[in-house]
Amino acid sequence: MKAMLSTAVGGPETLELTELPDPVPGKGELLLRVHAAGVNFPDTLMIRDLYQMKPPRPFAPGGEIAGEVLAVGEGVSAYAPGDRVLALTGHGGFATHLTVKANVAVKIPDAMPYEDAACFIFTYGTSHHALKDRAALQPGETLLILGAAGGVGAAAIELGKAAGARVIAAVSSQEKAEFCRQIGADETLIYPREPDRDGQKALSAEIKKLAGGNGVDVVYDAVGGAYAEPCLRAMAWKGRYLVVGFPAGIPNIPLNLTLLKGCQIVGVFWGASVFRDPKGHAENMTDLFRLYAEGRIKPRISARFPLEQAAEALEMMQDRRVLGKVVITMG
């Protein structure tokens, strides 16, 4: 088998393509032939030891994959060789072969290509959990999405529209704004890079203008940094502010704003929710497969790279040049 390994702390340039013995499934495990692996922002953090999960080196990044079951370990009865599955792996996905616990694999519909499956669970799982479980988004509400052109942001646009919300997509460029309109956003706004205090005030005013008199019911913040406070100031009474990620930095929030607006700041830790509430996760996956079959959601894959070029994929992700999703294909 081949794997793109992180052997030292550093950026994408530190990854090494390595030949390894094929793995053997242990008790309760599946051996998968990986066909595709999704690329996500945590992959760029993990190789720098900046993520909450720090696998021992050497390890392959890649937290979500899709592939074919080649063999099953002792005690596995729900899967058989030839089954098509996706899995949330945490790491290890940038490889041609992988063993996973059978209980983390999910069978995929015959009509779902491996590339779609590899770009499905992380982004749609996160955004569905955020909007449904944490925000209880309702039809007719206004949803503001920061970082809307990225993987989780694009998924949030589609899921917000499927829930009947009015969606405002906030992005950093005109190209990204056009992408968001193409996938269903009702309104778009372009925010400045690293806004100063005047820039923050202007951003808040623009959000209020687009949201209308009542303000924003739900903020989906996958950016953080200096953008958080302007969004909070533009919230409606009893709004819900979803903390999804902070590539722009962890924000300092003036908590008096939550009192004045009667709003909530709600953490979204989808990975933990999967393990803490497996029944709820299974119900959400059923929802997502139904929406996919109905054509209401579909991974927006903007770039594909072979395993040998995985570093380029991670560079694109860390530089925030991704529209939708990027996928690694194993050939």
For residue 293, tell me if it sits in a domain.
no
Mean pLDDT highest for which of 39-43, 127-131, 198-202, 211-215? 127-131
Residues 210, 139 share a domain: yes
Q: What is the CATH number of the domain that holds 15?
A: 3.90.180.10
Q: What is the CATH number of the domain that holds 218?
A: 3.40.50.720
Please write the tens of the pLDDT for every residue from 162-183: 999 999 999 999 999 999 999 9
What is the reported pLDDT for 35? Answer: 98
For residue 285, tell me if it sits in a domain.
no
Q: Per-residue confidence at 193, pLDDT binned at 50, 70, 90?
A: confident
Domain of 178 in residue numbering reads as: 124-271
For residue 323, tell me if it sits in a domain.
yes
Residues 236, 325 share a domain: no
Beta strands 29-39 and 325-329 are: antiparallel
Residues 137, 227 share a domain: yes
Which residue did the predictor score with more confidence, 83 or 248? 83
Residues 146, 75 share a domain: no
Residues 129, 114 share a domain: no
Average pLDDT, the chain: 95
Residues 253, 137 share a domain: yes
For residue 280, tell me if it sits in a domain.
no
What is the reported pLDDT for 247? Answer: 86
Answer yes or no: is pLDDT of 248 > 90. no
What distance in Å separates the CA atoms of residue 209 and residue 113, rounded to the nearest whole number? 41
Q: How many domains does the chain have?
A: 2
For residue 44, tell me if it sits in a domain.
yes
Residues 104, 32 share a domain: yes
Beta strands 166-171 and 187-190 are: parallel
What is the reported pLDDT for 213? Answer: 81
Please write the tens of the pLDDT for every residue from 249-282: 899 999 999 999 999 999 999 988 988 998 999 9
Q: Which is nearest to 318 in space by CA: 44, 14, 16, 25?
A: 44
For residue 281, tell me if it sits in a domain.
no
Answer yes or no: is pLDDT of 206 > 90. yes
Percent of the chain residues past pLDDT 90, beyond the cut: 89
Average pLDDT score over residue span 65-70: 98
Residues 136, 94 share a domain: no
Residues 84, 178 share a domain: no
Q: Per-residue confidence at 235, pLDDT binned at 50, 70, 90?
A: very high
Residues 210, 249 share a domain: yes
What is the reported pLDDT for 163? Answer: 97
Residues 195, 172 share a domain: yes
Answer yes or no: is pLDDT of 36 > 90. yes
What distance in Å separates the CA atoms of residue 101 and residue 309, rounded to the nearest whole number? 27
Please write the tens of the pLDDT for every residue from 107-148: 999 999 999 999 999 999 999 999 999 999 999 999 999 999
Residues 139, 91 share a domain: no
Domain limit, last residue, from 225, 253, 271: 271
